[in-house]
A and B are shown apart, each in its own frame.
Chain A
Amino acid sequence: GIQVEQSPPDLILQEGANSTLRCNFSDSVNNLQWFHQNPWGQLINLFYIPSGTKQNGRLSATTVATERYSLLYISSSQTTDSGVYFCAVHSNFGNEKLTFGTGTRLTIIP
């Protein structure tokens, strides 16, 4: 099955810093989602982005499907950005399953 790798596994930043999180996938996909899991475990949708670039406030994401990676940018980090960020993909090959990466744990220090 498709493999999804995220980097870095852990990231600690000062409030106000910018960050880039990366998601690599091993095969072609027709769907890619970014999620933020808050400290209480709730998964929040950030982006549905099978290709191209999207922006939502301080967050933006870019997926380059032909090169099999996606990037999540967080600018001017706030403590509420802390948590785990997951990317998840649907493979192109008839598989209805959403495959999750292992996540990047982001800690923003005041």
Chain B
Amino acid sequence: DGGITQSPKYLFRKEGQNVTLSCEQNLNHDAMYWYRQDPGQGLRLIYYSQIVNDFQKGDIAEGYSVSREKKESFPLTVTSAQKNPTAFYLCASSLQVQETQYFGPGTRLLVL
């Protein structure tokens, strides 16, 4: 089946710990994105990547880092510098930027 997968579904982080969220797509899309959603809110862009080995900051990049070493993979690391990481994280991809975006099922991150 073609699509976008995210893992894990739930993730718990201790204070001062870095955690990495996985996003994989087999749609052969060039562009990939990470969004954060807080309860009752819309989505805000963290980072996006137009092509392999390239990525750009979104609106709320502080405390996050990404890499794009392979076309199908765009992992997000939530660093200890992110002081309020509890949120729902959604990954998306599109054939190219400004085309239709398709979303994965999301990862819920909770801080212990």
Contacts and interface: CB of A to CB of B under 8 A. Distances in A.
B48 interface: yes
B100 A33 contact: yes
B97 interface: yes
A65 to B, nearest CB: 15
A90 B96 CA distance: 13
B97 A96 contact: yes
A103 interface: yes
A103 B42 contact: yes
B101 A97 contact: no
Contact of A96 (B42, B50, B102, B103): B50
A41 B37 CA distance: 10
Interface residues of A, number: 21
Contacts of B23: none
Contacts of B88: 41
B interface, size bucket:
20 to 34
A23 to B, nearest CB: 11
A45 interface: yes
B41 interface: yes
Contact of A43 (B45, B50, B58, B90): B90
A97 B59 contact: yes
A31 interface: yes
18 contacts: A30-B98, A31-B98, A31-B99, A41-B106, A41-B108, A42-B106, A45-B102, A86-B43, A96-B48, A96-B56, A96-B97, A96-B98, A97-B59, A98-B33, A98-B101, A102-B41, A102-B42, A103-B42
A33 B101 contact: yes
A108 B105 CA distance: 23
Nearest to B106: A41
A88 to B, nearest CB: 8
A88 B88 CA distance: 18
A85 B50 CA distance: 26
